């Protein structure tokens, strides 16, 4: 396996693990808790692009599907996908795909990343709120009041924080930081004292 594929596989696995860790930071406010999962999904799309980002989120969802405790509150299993929050979980997959695609196509400019994350979050909300309404039978107004409105400000903060974090981590993920370290190490070895 080429070095780049190995590196990206490691990063995809790491982002899946961070997404799972974000699920343990929970503020229970109703049927849909506040969690950091979506922050790491946003970051995954920005850092890994659409291919590896989608693979990372798919790995995360698969781990939860088979029962590993990677979802909010340390839960897992098929029941989470058919329960009230299942739409949000499913929404992570098209969201990370879209975030990565827009970011890559528009050359990772900050404004492109901002647009990508807003659209990705909108997809999560669209699928999440729709499924929440179906699963609970609540009125549309009630569904919005428990499944959308309480999260908008927090998600905007997550988007704003993800921009500089992605900018700082991209050289490392892209292997540039690694190449600079190797190059400087080799240069130091090749230098001989006078």
Asked, for residue 180, whether it belongs to a domain, the answer is no
Asked, for residue 72, whether it belongs to a domain, the answer is yes
Asked, for residue 162, whether it belongs to a domain, the answer is yes
Asked, for residue 191, whether it belongs to a domain, the answer is no
Asked, for residue 121, whether it belongs to a domain, the answer is yes
Asked, for residue 188, whether it belongs to a domain, the answer is no
Judged against a pLDDT cut of 50, whether residue 11 lies above it is answered with yes
Average pLDDT over residues 114-123: 98
The pTM assigned to this predicted structure is: 0.86
Q: Give the HSE-up count for residue 54: Cα atoms under 13 Å, Cβ half-sphere.
A: 9
- Would you say the C-alpha torsion 69, 70, 71, 76 has a positive or negative sign? negative
Work out how many domains the chain is built from and give that number. 1
Asked, for residue 192, whether it belongs to a domain, the answer is no
Task: Note down the domain range covering 47.
Answer: 3-172
Judged against a pLDDT cut of 90, whether residue 131 lies above it is answered with yes
Judged against a pLDDT cut of 90, whether residue 72 lies above it is answered with no
Judged against a pLDDT cut of 70, whether residue 150 lies above it is answered with yes
What's the CATH number where 63 sits?
Answer: 1.10.1760.20
From the list 21, 72, 10, the residue with the least C-alpha distance to 47 is: 10
- Would you say the C-alpha torsion 35, 40, 45, 51 has a positive or negative sign? negative
Q: Give the HSE-up count for residue 48: Cα atoms under 13 Å, Cβ half-sphere.
A: 27
Judged against a pLDDT cut of 70, whether residue 192 lies above it is answered with no
Asked, for residue 184, whether it belongs to a domain, the answer is no
């Amino acid at each position: 396996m080429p070095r780049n594929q190995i590196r990206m596989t490691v990063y995809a696995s790491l982002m899946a693990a961070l997404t799972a860790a974000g699920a343990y930071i929970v503020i229970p406010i109703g049927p849909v808790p506040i969690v950091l999962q979506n922050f790491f999904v946003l970051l995954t799309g920005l850092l890994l692009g659409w291919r590896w980002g989608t693979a990372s989120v798919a790995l995360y969802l698969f781990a939860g599907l088979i029962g590993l405790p990677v979802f909010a509150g340390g839960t897992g299993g098929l029941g989470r996908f058919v329960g009230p929050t299942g739409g949000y979980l499913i929404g992570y997959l098209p969201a990370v795909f879209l975030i990565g695609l827009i970011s890559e196509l528009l050359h990772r400019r900050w404004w492109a990343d901002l647009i990508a994350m807003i659209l990705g979050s909108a997809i999560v909300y669209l699928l999440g709120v729709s499924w929440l309404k179906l699963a609970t039978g609540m009125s549309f107004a009630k569904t919005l009041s428990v499944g959308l409105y309480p999260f908008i400000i927090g998600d905007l903060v997550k988007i704003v924080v993800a921009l500089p974090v992605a900018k700082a981590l991209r050289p490392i993920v892209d292997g540039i930081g690694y190449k600079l370290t190797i190059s400087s190490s080799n240069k130091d070895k090749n230098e001989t004292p006078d």
